[in-house]
Amino acid sequence: MAIKETKSVAEMPQGVRMNPWLIGVAAWAFPGAGHFLLGRWVRGLIISGVVCCMFVVGMLFGGHLFGLGGQETGSSRLLQLPPTIANLGTGLIYLICWASNSGFSDAAEYAKLATFEYGNTFLLVAGLLNYLAMLDAFDIAVGRKP
Amino acid sequence: MVMILFAALVSVVFGMVARDTGRERLFYGLKVFAEFIGIGIALAWVLYFLPF
């Protein structure tokens, strides 16, 4: 079955057009969802695949998700904020991990892994890439990009 | 290997969001991939000679 991508927002029928903010939220919540809603199936699948792959590889490498609920105080707690924002970029995936308390452990058994820092980097960049994809979906939805 | 995997995944997304036509995306993705690898190797050699 051939997959045809919609060329531009202007070509979309009026009924298909959606609120760009809704598309932005969907794109944040699940990687690629914003592009799916815009009919950009190929782009959505690739973005979804890459972000999910980076997240899974990061977890397999023993990476650790950052959060603000730790025992740090003062400026140490403030330093947790940027990586938490980056991790939060993976949307529902991060929230599911947070709700099930998986991936947040900074136990010595993970920290001693040779790939621990690689895993952290993959997890951080997965979130940042999803922010980029979210902005791309939003720009397409408002007609700034073809 | 990890650096190549990282560079490949990131350059795919950069290529997807940064350009308009398929050909431009492909070339931009390849350029970003090459830059990641090149700069990574250059940085590794620089750090190799640093005594601290």
Write out chain A's pLDDT in tens, 146 residues: 445 555 555 555 444 567 889 989 999 999 989 899 888 888 899 999 999 999 999 988 888 888 877 677 777 778 888 889 999 999 999 999 888 888 787 777 777 777 888 888 999 999 999 999 999 999 888 888 77
pLDDT at A10: 54
Task: Residue B2: list chain A partners with CB under 8 A.
Answer: 115, 118
pLDDT at A15: 45
Which pLDDT tens digit goes with each residue over A6-20? 555 555 544 456 788
pLDDT at A20: 86
Mean confidence (pLDDT) of chain B: 87
Task: Residue A133: list chain B partners with CB under 8 A.
Answer: 13, 16-17
pTM for this predicted structure: 0.81
pLDDT at A3: 52
Task: Residue A53: list chain B partners with CB under 8 A.
Answer: 9
What residues of chain A have any CB closer than 8 angstroms to a CB in chain B? 43, 46-47, 50-51, 53-54, 57, 115, 118, 121-122, 125, 129, 132-133, 135-136, 145-146
The arithmetic mean of pLDDT across residues B5-12, rounded, is 88
CB contact under 8 A, B2 and A136: no
pLDDT at A103: 78
CB contact under 8 A, B20 and A121: no
- The size of the A-B interface in CB pairs under 8 A is 33
Q: What percent of chain B has pLDDT over 70?
A: 100
Assembly ipTM: 0.79
Of the CA atoms within 13 Å of residue A42, those in its CB half-sphere come to 11
Residue tagged 């904020």 (tokens):
A81
Domain containing B30 equals 2-49
pLDDT at A52: 92
Provide the number of structural domains found in chain B: 1
Task: Residue B6: list chain A partners with CB under 8 A.
Answer: 121-122, 125
- Record the tokens describing residue B16, joined without a space: 């997807």
